Structure 1
C-alpha cells in the first residue's frame, strides 16, 4: 500500500473508513468557496466512491490521499493527483484541508511529499494546478512548492451564479 511520510505528516490512500472526513470537508460551504458550489450528499458520495478504487498510472480517477498528523494521528485533509496527459507524463494536483488546519503549512508539506513521489516513483514529469481567482492562499502554497503561474483562463469557472477566472500553475519535476 502506498504510504508517504514527511516531517509532520503521513499520507495514505483514501479508504471506506474515511467517509466522515470526506463528508465533512465537502459539506462545509466556506471550505468549498473556491472549489465548487455546495454539493448534495449524493454528489459527495459519488465523488468519494470514485476515489476508492486502487490507483495506478493508467487510472482515470484521482489518487486521493488522506493527510494525517504523525504526532496526534488527527486527519487534516486530502491531497492527490489525477493523470491528465499520459503521453506527456502530466498530472493535475489538488488539496483540501479542514479550515482549522489551514495556514499551518500542511498543504505545502503534503504537496511536496506528493511531488517527490510523483517524480521519483510515478515518472510524472509535469504537474499542473488550477486555482480559482481570489484564492491567494492556494496560490502561495503552489509558489512555495515551485509552481509558476502559467496563464489566466477568463470566466472559466462558474460558482454561485458568478463567473471566475481560473489561474493555471505548472511545475516541472526532476526524477
Structure 2
C-alpha cells in the first residue's frame, strides 16, 4: 500500500487521489468529448468502482495505477497516473486527463515531467511508456514535449465508439540522458 504522496512543480501540486476527488474523476471520465480518444464512457457504477480501487492505496508493483490529482492554486484540474508495466524491466506507463478549461497552458507537460522525474528516483525506473490514439495530437504533443519518442504504431489496437483505433506508443529512456529536465 502506498502512503500519501505529494509532489510539487513550479505551478502545480500532484497528490495521491482521495475520496474528495470523486466529482473531478466522474466529470473527466464521463465526458464523451474528453474521452473521444481514450475509451467509451462507462456507466457511473463502473467508474465509482475504478475510482475506489485507485484511492485504496494501490500497490504500484501489482499492475495497479498510482493515481494523482493535479492541483493549481488548491483547485483540482486533472488526473495523472503511473502503472508498473514490468518490474523486472523497470518499466512504467503514464496516463493523464486534464479538464478542458486548463488545456493549452502547459499544465499536463509540467505535471508529466514532475511525475517522471519523481518516479525515476522513487521506483528506479529505466523506461516510461505513454500511449495515445492516432489523431490525439494534444496528447502526442505532451509526450513529445516531455522527451518521449514515438516507438511504434499498433494498428486497430482497440475500439472507441465502435470504431477501430490505432495506438501510438511513445517511450522515454531514463538512464541515457534523454529523460525530462
Which interval holds the TM-score relative to the shorter structure?
Answer: over 0.9
Q: CA deviation at 1:146?
A: 0.5
User: Which residue of structure 2 aligns with residue 64 of structure 1?
Assistant: 67
Structure 1's unaligned 5+ residue stretches are none
Partners in 2 of 1:144 and 1:154 — Cα distance? 24
Aligned to 2:145: 144
RMSD: 1.2
1:19 to 2:22 alignment:
yes
Which residue pairs with 2:99 in the alignment? 98
CA deviation after TM superposition for structure 1 residue 56, in Å: 4.2
User: SS of 1:20's equivalent?
Assistant: helix
> 1:162: which partner in 2?
163
Tell me, in whole angstroms, the C-alpha distance in 2 between the residues paired with 1:76 and 1:13: 14
Moved over 2 A (4+): 55-60
**TM-score, L = length of structure 1:** 0.95
| 1:58 to partner: Cα distance | 2.2
Distance 2:92 2:161 in 1: 28
- Deviations, residues 40-63 of structure 1 (Å, cap 9, x unaligned): 101211210121122344232100
- How many aligned positions are there? 173
Q: Which one has a larger percent helix, Structure 1 or Structure 2? A: 2
Is the contact between residue 132 and residue 157 of structure 1 (CA under 8 Å) also seen in structure 2?
A: no
Q: Could you list the runs of 5+ residues in structure 2 that have no partner in the other structure? A: none
Specify the SS of the correspondent of 2:49. helix
Partner of 1:118: 119
